[in-house]
Structure 1
Amino acid sequence: MPTSPSLPLVTRPAGPTPAVIVAIVVTVLAWASAFIVIRGTAPSFEGGALALARLVVGAALLSLLLIGKRWVAPTGREWLLIAGFGVVWFGGYNVALNIAEKTLDAGTTAMIVNIGPILIALGAGVFLREGIPKWLAIGAGVAFLGVVLIGIGTSGEGLGDGSGVVWALVAAVTYAAGVLMQKPALKRLPAAQVTWLGCVIGLVACLPFAGQLVTDLQTASPAAIAGAVYLGAVPTALAFSTWAYALARMPAGQLGVTTYIVPPLAIVLGLLVFGEIPAGAAIVGGAICLVGVALSRRRPAARVPG
């Protein structure tokens, strides 16, 4: 009696575990709150000084996570990746973000920074030789138009000379570059170790701002100082730890998509706390950026053999 050919089993890739989902939620909420707290402390601290204060607190708290943990010696290549990740993301990103929010509201800044996932995908295509699919190129172009519209909208509202938009773009680029360097380092090294090293290296890179930090602390209000401590404890020590935990267990592109919720949260929190809302053109531009990011995630339809 002939037997029918067995059909191949189709397995779906396992989704994130509950622990990874919790880590993602914590990261998103903490990073959304960071835009608000930075906006609130901006009048009391210069951009570099606030970054240094944040990293001092973050490094101290992150060091506690290493107690009792086995140290894994990085290779030369891993040291280069961690050093680049620390200087670019912990250092450069924080300084650029703080300066951007001197003139931009929290929601507008968050919308610009949120083009980071596209930049991550483009960077992976160029530097990791993963290629640049058609939809990625289309999405990047659409997102760029959105950023231009945000710049026009903020200029129309009299928010400075547009330098805030430039600094927010710098923050987006350094965020993407940091992820691209962090991901390979997490293949072998513990997430807590990589995060702590990156934070310490970023702190060292920001030491030139120590004099300004001392000056700012002398005049800052207790609320502003508390805000700087919060930035080091929650969006830095906690959120970068949960981010690294999730990044070590899922693709960078998929994890980057989870940050789409940060700009809407930042806009709502900015409205509730400061009564600020981005200019109409900036909101439209932010929506176009999100459309661009969504387009960049499209994949060509699979061909069905006939």
Structure 2
Amino acid sequence: MWASSFVVIRAFAEDLSPGPLAVLRLLSGVITLSALLLWLRRGKLRLPGRRGLLLGAAFGVVWFAVYTLVFNWAGHFLDAGTIAMLVNLAPLLIALGGGLFFGEGFPRQLFAGMAVSLVGIGLITFAGTTGRLSLAGLLIALTAAVLYAAGMMIQKLTLRHTDPLTATWIACGAGVVALLPFIPQTIGEVGEASLGSIIGAVYMGVGPTAIAFIFWGYAMMHFPAGRVAASTLSVPAIVVVMAWIFLSEVPPGLAIIGGVICLIGVGIVQWRTPRWRGRKSSADPIVDKAPAPA
């Protein structure tokens, strides 16, 4: 679902500006999440305490609002595959944050992976200097990766106070509130946008925002942040294939090489060693009790 959002944004970037696209996505997301809450909780909403609400709101502003805006903006400059490769540096940043804030440690492979990924970033940047990619787009996509990592760190803190569905609903609602200044622009652009772009925005709210974030939140409750983030390593490959099929769009060869090197670096960071498997995270005491993901 997350891979498809890269393709949808590229497909309809000309119809909807970053702000209106984010508003439509989050509005459809919060409606979907509200319906799920009413159905699963039988109309009884269990809100967390003040700290949980504040963390959920911060998570929503950072990830659902600001990250979505920046992510949409990147779609106006770069192809879907290059954006995916740069945004998926986030697991490396998350592993660094996991060591700083969640006691997940600083294994040697963290620094080795960072060095390898920097080489990949250098190649992608060089592709930008040749005119094949937009340097502004590269900076925007890297900013999105930083926001992605920050949002995930805040999400993990939020999930200490509430369940994934409630946390996602609170965050999505906070994201809508943060994007209220874009409502007038959204109203103006929706009247001129194609039906396909509106359907695409609604799909991103239902699928990648509502459903995918609930699954992601469940995984975040049961496993260390860095290990969960490693699952996103498959996203760039899926994006490149989908963009090639639906958009006839392929990143420049040098950017693909750089992206692969970046992901190798992230993979080095996430490599499981016997020491990691045998150690419980102080931030997540139920790691060893969790069932293996399907």
Q: Which stretch shows the higher mean deviation, 178-187 or 261-270?
A: 178-187
Does residue 203 (structure 1) correspond to residue 176 (structure 2)? The answer is yes
CA–CA separation in structure 1 for the residues paired with 2:117 and 2:160: 31
Q: CA deviation at 1:34?
A: 0.6
Q: Which stretch shows the higher mean deviation, 72-81 or 230-239?
A: 72-81
User: Which residue number in structure 2 is paired with residue 7 of structure 1?
Assistant: none
- The answer to whether the 8 Å contact 1:148/1:285 transfers is yes
Counting aligned pairs with the same residue, the percent is 43
- The answer to whether the 8 Å contact 1:72/1:190 transfers is no
Report the residue type matching 2:30 in the other structure. Answer: A
Counterparts of residues 78-89 of structure 1 (less than 5 Å): 78-89=52-63
- The answer to whether the 8 Å contact 1:111/1:286 transfers is yes
User: Which residue number in structure 2 is paired with residue 61 of structure 1?
Assistant: 32
Q: CA deviation at 1:294?
A: 1.6
Match of 2:265 among 287, 292, 304: 292
- The answer to whether the 8 Å contact 1:135/1:299 transfers is no
Counterparts of residues 246-261 of structure 1 (less than 5 Å): 246-261=219-234
In structure 1, runs of 5+ residues without a counterpart are: 1-29
- Say which SS state the counterpart of residue 66 (structure 1) adopts: helix
CA–CA separation in structure 2 for the residues paired with 1:246 and 1:166: 30
Q: Which stretch shows the higher mean deviation, 182-191 or 70-79?
A: 70-79
In structure 2, runs of 5+ residues without a counterpart are: 276-294
Match of 2:90 among 98, 116, 136: 116
Deviation sequence 1:56-84 (CA, Å, 0-9, x none): 11001110111152433323332232121
User: Which residue number in structure 2 is paired with residue 163 of structure 1?
Assistant: 136
User: Which residue number in structure 1 is paired with residue 67 of structure 2?
Assistant: 93
- The answer to whether the 8 Å contact 1:93/1:175 transfers is yes
Structure 1 or 2, whichever has the larger Rg, is 1
- Say which SS state the counterpart of residue 267 (structure 2) adopts: helix
User: Which residue number in structure 1 is paired with residue 284 of structure 2?
Assistant: none
Pair 73,234 (structure 1): closer, same or farther in 2 beyond 3 Å: closer
Does residue 138 (structure 1) correspond to residue 115 (structure 2)? The answer is no
With the length of structure 2 as denominator, give the TM-score of the two structures: 0.87
Q: CA deviation at 1:267?
A: 0.3
CA–CA separation in structure 2 for the residues paired with 1:86 and 1:104: 25
CA–CA separation in structure 2 for the residues paired with 1:220 and 1:78: 38
Deviation sequence 1:112-149 (CA, Å, 0-9, x none): 01111111111122233544222212212221221222
CA–CA separation in structure 1 for the residues paired with 2:241 and 2:271: 28
- Say which SS state the counterpart of residue 58 (structure 2) adopts: helix
Counterparts of residues 97-246 of structure 1 (less than 5 Å): 97-160=71-134, 162-246=135-219
Q: Which stretch shows the higher mean deviation, 109-118 or 291-300?
A: 291-300
Task: Give the aligned CA root-mean-square deviation in angstroms.
Answer: 1.7
User: Which residue number in structure 2 is paired with residue 22 of structure 1?
Assistant: none
CA–CA separation in structure 1 for the residues paired with 2:133 and 2:61: 29
CA–CA separation in structure 2 for the residues paired with 1:48 and 1:148: 30
- Say which SS state the counterpart of residue 162 (structure 2) adopts: coil
Deviation sequence 1:30-54 (CA, Å, 0-9, x none): 0011110011110111111111110
Match of 2:6 among 35, 38, 45: 35
Report the residue type matching 1:183 in the other structure. Answer: K
Q: CA deviation at 1:219?
A: 1.4
Report the residue type matching 2:190 in the other structure. Answer: L
